[in-house]
Amino acid sequence: MAFNMVEKHSSAYSVTWGINDIIYTEKTPYQKLFIIETEEFGRALVLDDILQTTINDEFYYHEMIAHVPLFTHANPRRVLIIGGGDGGTAREVLKHKCVEQIDLVDIDERVIAVCRKYLPELACSFDNPKVNVLITDGVKYVKSQKNKYDVVIIDSTDPEPMGPAVQLYSSDFYQSVYRCLNDDGLFVAHTDSPCFSFGSDNFRDFWHRINAYFPLTKAYITCVPSYISGYWSFTLGSKRYDPIRDYRHDTSIKTRFYTSELHRACFVLPRFMQELIAKKPKE
């Protein structure tokens, strides 16, 4: 095919994906949406020119954003996913039999509809009766809820300054997340790459914003090869459970990336990340 997709992260760095096909394209009220067939990672969802998830490497991301918080909570029954319109995170959460209800709040119903059609490997989760989809603004929704959820997962797009997700990384939002959690609740968000200059300040700032409300704040690291630098941070804020002290072993859940040993290991940060966290931001 004659097309490449260029992800321009900054003037300093961009990635060019060879693509075999452009399968679908739409301008939704919120973002530009593409389904493409990448040469390296197979079919992929692209929002606002950034690759969101691919069939071949989605499990790295979805398993680590779902199983780390779910195995940290002693008995997660009600789970809230903000974003997650491709369905991959819900699919992993559903592997935990103790979960009774997943509320999935996405602002853009077109993402869900298109993923149901073109990414059924992920969007299969929407057919499960435990999954309750709400098409609304995640920020407003979270603000309207109190003491309702055991686990909240923020599975949005990146905090680009002008994108729809920027408010999902604000102090106000983290305070609302705290309030919508039960007394032993916890949440997780993906918090940028700590390696690149345009991500490391984000990582540090998000950590401190979360830590301002949660008694226990811990960052963990995994790889998402289709994301910039590969090395991707997640930050967990918890009211009671400690992901290292309290996590449950359960080998009955089938995974391709996550293991119990990796659950412990992913919280071991390299020294430069420890030092990033130790520096308080100016704000």
Catalytic machinery residues: 155
Please state, in angstroms and rounded to a whole number, the distance separating the CA atoms of residues 157 and 162: 11
The residue from 135, 195, 216, 253 that contacts a copy of itself (CB under 8 A) is: 195
The least distance separating a copy of itself from the CB of residue 200, rounded to whole angstroms, comes to: 11
138 is in an annotated binding site: yes
157 is known to lie in a ligand binding site: yes
Minimum CB–partner distance for residue 37 and a copy of itself (Å): 11
Query: One symbol per residue from 231 to 270: x for binding a copy of itself (CB under 8 A), - otherwise; what is it?
Result: x-----------------------xxxxx-xx-xxx-xxx
Q: How far apart are the first and last CA of the chain?
A: 48
* Contacting residue, 77, 116, 148, 196, with a copy of itself by CB under 8 A: 196
Tokens of 144: 């309207």
Q: Smaller CB distance to a copy of itself: residue 152 or 236?
A: 236
What is the residue type of 122? L
Hey, what amino acid is at 8?
Answer: K
Rounded CA separation 123/235 (Å): 25
- For residue 21, which phi and psi values (nearest 5 degrees)? -165, 145
CB of 239 to a copy of itself, least distance (A): 25
CB 46 within 8 A of CB 110: no
96 labelled as ligand-binding?
Answer: no
Q: Which residues contact 79 (CB under 8 A, 6 or more apart)?
A: 70, 93, 99, 101, 102, 103, 149, 150, 151, 152, 153
Instruction: Give the residue, chosen from 230, 242, 246, 248, that forms a contact with a copy of itself under the rule CB under 8 A.
Output: 230
> Does 28 carry a binding-site annotation?
no
CB 219 within 8 A of CB 226: no
Q: By CB under 8 A, is residue 158 in contact with a copy of itself?
A: no
Q: Which is nearer to a copy of itself, 141 or 257 (CB)?
A: 257
CA–CA gap between residue 97 and residue 156 (Å, rounded): 25
2, 162, 197, 245: residue in contact with a copy of itself (rule CB under 8 A): 197
**Contact criterion met (CB below 8 Å) for 45 and 52:** yes
Site mask for a copy of itself (CB under 8 A), range 33-62, x = bound: -----xxx----------------x-xx--
* Residue indicated by tokens 């935990």: 96
Which residues in 96-135 contact a copy of itself (CB under 8 A)? none
* DSSP 8-state class, residue 149: E
**Strand, helix or coil for residue 25:** strand
Piece in contact with a copy of itself (CB under 8 A), picked from 29-37, 89-97, 121-129, 195-203: 195-203
* Residues 18, 7 contacting (CB under 8 angstroms): no
Q: Output the smallest distance, CB 94 to a copy of itself, in A.
A: 19
Binding-site members for S-methyl-5'-thioadenosine are: 31, 106, 137-138, 164
Binding site for a copy of itself (CB under 8 A): 6, 10-18, 38-40, 57, 59-60, 193, 195-197, 221, 223, 225, 229-231, 255-259, 261-262, 264-266, 268-272, 274
